[in-house]
Amino acid sequence: MSRYRSLLAFSWAMAGLAVVAAAGLLVDDRVLVGAPIWLKPFKFAVSFAVYGLTLAWMLSRHAPPSRTGRWAAHTVVVTGTIEMAIITGQTIRGRRSHFNIETPLDQGLFITMGLTIAVLWVATLVIAVLLFRARLGDRAATWAIRLGLLLALAGLLLGGLMAMPTPEQQAAGALRTLVGAHGVGVPDGGPAMPLTGWNTTGGDLRIPHFLGMHALQGLPLFLYAIEALTGRCPRLRDERIRLRLVLVAAGWTTALLALVTWQALRGQALIHPDGATLGALAALTAATAAGTFAALRRPGSGTGPGTPSSPAATPGGVPQPHTPGQELPA
């Protein structure tokens, strides 16, 4: 990770900013859009700190070090720094950073934020392409990283839905002072969940944005959890089984991302699902359970998780080992 010092320095800076924002939560009693004014800088600083560390770790697994990777890392640092400078500056001013076009300055800052996030997305895409062309460990680790990056890119894209004007804003025409919102069907600043601030009375587009982005950490952490269980469950020592479980987890995350996006766009709060949402969730749960059961089968056997397997054999009866490359290439 030390080869990508810019990302590490950025993450440390964001961690420091998170401490400052946490202090702001304690000493500054101002409220903006129904939430403590320093809550947004705190959440964004923590998110960027984790994002930078994760990318540095992923890039460190690419050997040899890549000049393209370094430039992409520098781009993430610059754009992330600009984003946080605007968010923090607007917090100090007591103004909204996102969706605010009330004054020329506010509008210019919001446009700048949109441009920097677009550039950050492209830089992350470059990193993803680079890591898709490299072996990053065994196949389970390689695909956990690759698929985590793809889901993070999807989550970043879904954030763009929040920048679209709401029907109420469109009706206001040239008089509007805001463009975009977190909520769907309800105004921002209403009843919300603790800590996350997600709406409890309507849809909230921050939910799919969060889920997609943090799959970047979720899939590798899921794999680490599997590897930690290999002492108790010898079956998990098989690389092919770990790979299958990673693919099941990635499929579950992708489907859940689609589900919470659909739920939010229908103006439905996460904690108040209707019958259609619950039915889709039940189907996803059943499919994931079936996929997990299938993944835990011994590669090359038709047996379940608790049944020993036999090696594959040729027509002549000579056992042939199952080669890892027969399932999914690295």
Question: Which residues, other chains included, contact 18 with Cβ-Cβ below 8 Å and sequence gap of 6+?
Answer: 42, 45, 46, 49
Predicted confidence (pLDDT) at residue 174 exceeds the cutoff of 80: no
Q: What is the mean pLDDT of residues 6-34?
A: 97
- Asked if 295 and 247 touch (Cβ cutoff 8 Å), the reply is yes
pLDDT above 60: residue 246:
yes
**pLDDT higher than 90, residue 39:** yes
Residue 329 has pLDDT above 70, yes or no: no
Q: What is the mean pLDDT of the chain?
A: 90
Contact partners, residue 190, CB within 8 Å, separation at least 6: 34, 183, 199, 200, 201, 202
Q: Thinking of the domain 1-135, which architecture would CATH place it in?
A: Up-down Bundle (1.20)
What is 266-320 written as a DSSP string?
A: TT--TTS--HHHHHHHHHHHHHHHHHHHHHTSPTT----TTS----EE-TTS-EE
Percent of the chain past pLDDT 70, that is, above it, reads 89
Extents of the domains making up the chain: 1-135, 144-185+196-297
The pLDDT confidence band at residue 4, using thresholds 50, 70 and 90, is confident
Cα distance between residue 203 and residue 187, in whole Å: 10
